[in-house]
A and B are shown apart, each in its own frame.
Chain A
């Protein structure tokens, strides 16, 4: 257990509404990541952070924004949710040598 929690764990929302997912870690790791996972696919990187206020885009960043105002929290925001953003979202941290450990995931459904 790498001390990673995600909230909420499940969410159903309507198209066009804003949604924020939270990732919280307890061990002050510098690097944090947001991935999405869709059926039959591996994980795809949305955004990542390499420190407070330092973030960068991943391969599927369109429609998502992130913020990191404290080391322990990394927020993922869908400004206007669409049905294509229905997915399972995983947060991860990197420990030494960049091994990544994942949070429990958030299942998001956009209706």
Chain B
């Protein structure tokens, strides 16, 4: 059975802090790992990672994948209150079928 585990489950920080969110996985057919941000609505796509060691970056967010150790991290630097959300990690196999972790709830306080 495919499994994706995210940690921590929740995190409270203050504006300006840097956070690291973790995602480890065990899947039978790995094609890619994706990160999503979910506010009080549908998840929105952040990154897709397919190769180890290549950092994806978008503004203050960055992510990297380690296919040997089967994990990924999502970093957010200089956090803002607008970063408060649930961050979901998903691993995709064949036909785009995705297994999601339970998410990390990030709260950024002013």
The interface of chain A, by Cβ under 8 A from chain B, is 31, 33, 35, 40-45, 48, 50, 56, 58-59, 90, 94, 97-105
Contacts and interface: CB of A to CB of B under 8 A. Distances in A.
B92 interface: yes
The SS class assigned to the B binding surface is: strand
B42 to A, nearest CB: 4
Contacts of B99: 45, 59
B88 A43 contact: yes
Nearest to A91: B42
B45 A100 contact: yes
B34 interface: yes
Given A90-B42, A101-B45, A105-B42, A42 B103 contact: yes
Question: In the complex, which range does the number of interface residues on chain B fall in?
Answer: 20 to 34
A58 B88 CA distance: 18
Interface in B19-44: 31-32, 34, 41-44
B22 to A, nearest CB: 14
Nearest to B86: A42
A48 B95 contact: yes
B46 to A, nearest CB: 10
B95 A40 contact: no
A45 B92 CA distance: 11
Interface in B54-110: 88, 90, 92, 95-103
Given A42-B100, A42-B101, 15 more contacts: A33-B96, A42-B4, A42-B102, A43-B100, A44-B100, A45-B99, A48-B97, A56-B95, A98-B32, A98-B96, A99-B45, A100-B96, A101-B45, A102-B43, A105-B41
